[in-house]
Amino acid sequence: MKLLLGNKNYSSWSLRPWLVLKHFDIEFEEEMLLLNGENWKQKIVDRTPFGFVPVLEDGELVVGETLAIIEYLAEKFPDKNIWPNDINERAMARVAASKMHAGFSALRNAAPMNLRASYPGRISQKEISHDMEVLEKLLCTHLDNSKGDFLFGNFCAADAMFAPVAVRIKTYEIPVSNQLREYFAAIFALKAFDEWHRDALKESWIVEEDEIDFVQANTD
């Protein structure tokens, strides 16, 4: 099994299934398809079904979408408990993951994931205020009922979906409640996340389109 992924400093969608694979100790290879360099877009098109990463290859099967990858892993390795055991919690975890997958566009567009950077005060709070209100309500509701450090007790796929949000909050020092700050700290403390973070810090590639100066220059 192989995961095709983008630059670890920037690729939020690659981080999510990678965390699931690593945290749940599923054996896999990884291959980076750079999000920069000469003809990088064509190289990704040549290797992937839709021209995007991440992509999971398992024999002849090619799964080219983050949530689909996670669902496939959950079905292939049911003993790993990638989703919560309880049917009600499992349903709510999928709701949270789907909301992340389809929403929070203002936050994602204004604050690209960048693990190497520190840009406090660079994000307009007004621009992302609605997304932050929804984020606080969604996550804190689950954390209030959780019997552990994560949304549904132990780390699960829903937490993996929100890991890039934790990075964004840290990089741009976006204000959040103490409850969310502690939750994000639990994500950062994961052995799998630490490995990804260390790899990202070693990268030297610059993806201009994902740097805050470029983003703000092209949205003003």
Stretches in the chain below the pLDDT threshold 50: none
pLDDT at 219: 78
Spatial distance between the Cα atoms of 65 and 69, rounded to a whole number of angstroms: 6
Whole-number Cα distances in Å, 62 to 8, 32, 50, 125, 159: 21, 16, 11, 40, 24
pLDDT at 220: 59
The answer to whether domain 2-80 has CATH 3.40.30.10 is yes
The CATH number of domain 87-196, selected from 3.40.50.620, 1.10.287.10, 1.20.1050.10, 3.10.20.520: 1.20.1050.10
Tell me the domain boundaries of the chain: 2-80, 87-196
Whose CA is closest to 73, among 148, 177, 3? 3
Which three-class secondary structure string do you get for the chain?
Answer: CEEEECCCCCCHHHHHHHHHHHHCCCCCEEEECCCCCCCHHHHHHHHCCCCCCCEEEECCEEECCHHHHHHHHHHHCHHHCCCCCCHHHHHHHHHHHHHHHHCCHHHHHHCCCCCCCCCCCCCCHHHHHHHHHHHHHHHHHHHHHCCCCECCECCCHHHHHHHHHHHHHHHHCCCCCHHHHHHHHHHHCCHHHHHHHHHHHHCCCCCHHHCHHHHHHCCC
Q: How many CB atoms lie within 10 A of CB 184?
A: 20
Spatial distance between the Cα atoms of 43 and 143, rounded to a whole number of angstroms: 41
The string of pLDDT tens digits covering residues 131-184 is: 999 999 999 999 999 999 999 999 999 999 999 999 999 999 999 999 999 999
